Structure formats: C-alpha cells, structure tokens
Amino acid sequence: MATVNHPYNGCWHSAKSDFPAPKVNEVSPSEFFYSDYMKQLRSDMRGGKTTPLIEKVCANCINEEKEGRKGLRDPQWYEPLGRVVQVKLKIFGNLCNLSCYMCRIKDSSSRIKQTEKLIQIDPEFGEMLEYDKLTDEMKHGGVSYNVIEDIKKLAPRIEKIYIIGGEPFIMPKHYEVLDALIEIGQAKNIVLKYHTNLTKLEWEGNHIFDYIKQFKGCDINWSLEGIREQNDYIRFGSNWESNLQNYYKIKKHAKVWGNVCASSLSILSLHETEEWMKSEGLDYSINNIQEPRPCRIDSLHPKIREQLLPMYRNTKLESSLSANIENWEDRWAELLRYLKALDEINNTDYTKVFPLLNVE
C-alpha cells in the first residue's frame, strides 16, 4: 500500500515494523520493491521459517492464525497464477470538495480551510483537529506523485487498482494513470475501485463513465452519512438530490456499496439511513468514528444514547451507546461548542437538522 508521507508496508495488512522502510515521497514504488528491505523480506518468506522480520511485518496475520482464523497471507485467499497484484493508491493529494465534520483534516483540502476558520473562532479547535500536524504540502492540496511508469510495469500483474483521496473523481492526475493503462492495452483486464462522495462524475473534461467502460469493471464505495438534510449537514458542501441522481447513474456502470461513518450525528438517523439502503438493495458497511473526539458516539448526552440504545443492541455500536463516560458533561459541551462553531462558519443550524440534540 502507498500513502503519501507514510512509510511503505510489505502489504496493506502488514503491521508497522521498526525495520527501516522509506516513505512514499522519498522513493518510487519500484525502487521500494527492489530495496534491501523487500529483498530481505522475500528471502525470509522463501526460507519457510518465521524469522524476526516476518514476526514484525506479518504480526497481524500471525495473531489471526493463533486465534484460529485464516490470516490474509493464507494462499487459499489467492489465485496461484495470473493477476495477483492489488494496488491501493493514496498519492494524488488531498483535494476534496466537501468539509465533512468528522473527516481527518489531512485528508481534505476543504476541511483544512474550514479548520482555519474554526481556529479564528477558538484556537482550541486547532489542537482538537490536529492542525499543527499538517505539513505545508497538505495545506496546499498535497503532492501528487508520478507513478505512471511504475504502474505500467506492474500492469500485466494488476487485478485491481483502488484509488482514494481526498475525492478521487476531482483529482486530474489520477486520470493520467487511467489513460496510461488504456494506451498500453491493459485497462480491459483491470478492475477500478474508488472511495468517493459521488458529488462529481466529471472534472475538467474527464467523465468517469468514459473510463469505466474501458476497464474490466468498477467498484464504488459511496460515502454517505444520512439521507436528505442530515447528509448535507454532516458532509457539508454536498447536495442529497444531486448525490442521489449520480448514484442512480453510476450504478448502471459499476457495483456500488454504501459506506457510513457512525458518528455523534449520523447515529441520530442511522436507522433511517439503513432502511433506505436496504430498500435500494445497496450493500453497506458501518465504521465507528473514534476521532475527532466530538464526533464519537459516546460524546452524546447520556439521555440521547439511552434513547438510541434499544435499536442497536447486539451490534458493534452498542458499547459506544452504553458507555459510562465519567466526564460526559465536558464531552457533551465540547460537541455542542464544535457544532455551534461549524454553524457560524457554514451558515447552518444543527438544532433544526438534528432535533434529538435539543435535550435538557
């Protein structure tokens, strides 16, 4: 897996290792593949024994196997021949057209600009959202790295390319990679995969449908946090009706999954969101937000969590709803302070969109 400003990993599931590995912005994918690090790792794997290096890099799979589960390194997961490479690219910058209230600001150029306005209201928001950890590159849209030649070399072995952002559909550089795969005749054998907000299907003359039809297939992870005004508030800058039309358009060309971040706001209408996705025959996944802190489910007032709890018994959200938070008054006040500041910047009103928050 390749992610800007982070060290390379042996695979996307590998554990962090103290064995030195360069960062993505220091060397190209092919240079890393033929580095001493990877040569040593491949040599150890061919030896058939669990060396100290393998114990570090493959710790996640090893632990899964100790628990009786089949780790992702098990060869039964994979075809022995043919296209076996799945490439995950997060190297085209952080350009994004939305300011989602729960998004890590390093992943969204719009969110960074929003945070700078929040800091003017209260500098503590900068610490809460980790603004000081941003690099100058992140503050200006990130850096897009040229990997076209490396991807072309790998193309005959690539099964799937997973592109994430920012918002991939508005990242011009990523279309250059797709153009290169089309030009060398490999696109028809490769599946595209995107994590997208589905606000834009066309950007600077590039229409995603023109590309999808030239590839073997396309998988779409659609990020949505609710329906109608709830989604538009949480994913500020989006328009539900426009998103909906784009969903109906793209589902004719790609397999679409829903992806919901369970947060202090989305949980308030999550049951309605799930009902809608089920009515559409839309498979989906739910991820529980941990940061920023006000966006955690357990930042909600205990009365609200108690009201929601019966709907989520025996689910992975139950523990967040039933948690006994000693400093819940501070956490609740922090959430309201955050929402009020967002309302001031975005010209919105959380009390009207989420009436459940109007608790005494």
Encode pLDDT of 183-200 as tens digits.
999 999 999 999 999 999
Helical spans, DSSP H, in the chain:
29-33, 36-46, 52-57, 59-66, 109-121, 124-128, 136-139, 148-154, 172-183, 208-212, 229-234, 240-250, 270-279, 302-308, 318-322, 328-346, 350-353
* Integer Cα distance of 190 and 201 in angstroms: 20
* Integer Cα distance of 133 and 126 in angstroms: 10
Residue with tokens 């153009």: 179
* Integer Cα distance of 109 and 292 in angstroms: 17
Q: Which two tokens stand for residue 120?
A: 């003017």
| CB distance 354 to 265 below 8 Å | yes
> ω into residue 292 within 30 of 0, thus cis?
yes
Kindly state the DSSP code that residue 289 receives in the 8-state scheme. Answer: -
pTM for the model stands at 0.78
For the stretch 122-147, pLDDT in tens is 999 999 999 999 888 887 766 556 67
For the stretch 9-45, pLDDT in tens is 777 677 666 556 677 667 777 778 888 888 888 888 8
Q: Kindly give the confidence (pLDDT) of every residue in the chain, 360 residues in length, as a single tens digit, with 9 standing for 90 and above.
A: 545 556 777 776 776 665 566 776 677 777 788 888 888 888 888 888 889 888 888 888 888 888 777 777 776 665 555 677 888 887 778 889 999 999 999 989 999 999 999 999 999 999 999 999 988 888 776 655 667 888 898 899 999 999 887 899 998 888 999 999 999 999 999 999 999 999 999 988 889 999 999 999 999 999 999 999 999 999 999 999 999 999 999 999 999 999 999 999 999 999 999 999 999 999 999 999 999 999 999 999 999 999 999 999 999 899 999 999 999 999 999 999 999 999 999 999 999 999 999 987
- The set of residues, in sequence order, having a beta carbon less than 8 Å from that of 44 and lying 6+ positions away, is 51, 53, 54
